[in-house]
Every structure is written in C-alpha cells, then in structure tokens.
Homo-oligomer: A and B are copies of this chain.
Amino acid sequence: MVETLLEAAAQVLETRGLEGFNTNAVAERAGVSIGSLYQYFPSKDALTIALMERENARFYKEALASLDHASGSAALDHLIRVAVWQQFARPTLARLLDVEESRPQLRAALPSTGSMRSLLLDILAREDSPQQADTDVAARDVFAMIRGLVDAAGERGETDTAGLTRRVCAAVQGYLTMMSAATPAEEDPHPADKREQPARKPAPRGPKRP
C-alpha cells in the first residue's frame, strides 16, 4: 500500500506537476480513499519525504557499486552514469522532487546520509582523484553541476542519454581538473598568476600533475 501510494504520488507529480500535486489526486490515482492515505502518511509532507527517500534509495543502491571500482575516475564515471540514468528514468519527477527538496520543512526532515554526496566525498578523497583543496565543497559542487545539467536536460525533454552522460562527465572532470590545477598553491604567497591562467586559456593540460 505504501508503495502504491508512493507510485501514485510520483505519477501525479509527473502528469500534473507541482500545482496538481495534492493528496486527493494521489489517493484517487492510487485507487484508495484519502482516509487510507492518511493512515500511512501523517501528512502531505510525510508523503513527499517518503517519495524522495524512495527515489534516493533507488539511486543509492545502484550508486554504491561505484565504490567497487579501483580507480577514482572509474568510480566517478560510474556514479555520474548512474546519476544521469536515474534522472533520465523519470526526468520530471526528479526535477520536481529537487524543487520540493528546497523547502526548509522538507530539508529538515530529510536524512542527509546515504546520499550521493557521501559517495562523492568518498570518491574525491581517493588518492588517484584530482586532489581538491576542499573535498566537501568539491562534492557539493559536483553534485550541483550534475543536478543542474540533468534537470535542465529533463526540463527541455532531452532524450539522448549517452550524449548527456558524456557532457556531464566532461563538466565534472573539467571542474575537478581545473580546481585541482588551481589549488595546489593554497598557501602560495603569489596566487595571482596561477589564478589567472585557467581563465585566460582554459588549461587543457591542467588535470595532470607533472
């Protein structure tokens, strides 16, 4: 029943959007009474949160496997592929849940563990990944980029998963490379020159450390 309701909620969100997402519609779509819905979820927010968790778990399960890769880049690659795939499986749903997720009330109730970011942190911390000055920030940024790119793609109805995956990989690796190149000099007393370069001539060679 819980599953029925969650799937109904997902479908309502997909077909009627945020505006049409109300408990009556969900119950109707699920083919149960509104009373039953409230027997399983104490409030609309609880339902929304449960849906987010379901989608997140679905993703996390696949994404966990990325840790099995030996190399950091392969792991990252895997993670991106899963993220894109997941967002593409139900693009509208993913995007709308992202929007809902920004509501303070929901954020508060949402577990911050088991998320993509924790995996990212793990991968970025590996020795063979482009070293970042602040892994935490990098993880957040990478996550934000992926989400931004894939949501935008979903929003305009893109269907070429392979192409999108390639672009997202490019973005992530580009970012990590550039940041890696820029940051070794954290305590560098003359950051001026280093900072400029990437901007002027987008450092095709940066990624590697000599």
Contacts and interface: CB of A to CB of B under 8 A. Distances in A.
A112 to B, nearest CB: 11
B166 A199 contact: yes
Contacts of A72: 207-208
Interface string A69-84: 0011110110011000
Contact of A170 (B152, B170, B199, B204): B199
Nearest to A170: B178
Nearest to A208: B209
A177 B188 CA distance: 18
A155 B198 CA distance: 26
Contacts of A81: 202
Interface in A161-210: 165-167, 169-171, 173-182, 188, 190, 192, 195, 198-210
Contact of A207 (B145, B151, B171, B207): B207
Interface residues of A, number: 67
A148 interface: yes
A199 B73 contact: yes
A17 B104 contact: yes
Contacts of A95: 102
Nearest to A142: B171
A80 to B, nearest CB: 7
Among A99, A104, A146, A199, residue most surrounded by chain B Cβ atoms (within 10 Å): A199
Which 6 A-B residue pairings sit nearest by Cβ, starting from the closest?
Answer: A148-B148, A174-B174, A169-B202, A144-B152, A170-B178, A173-B202
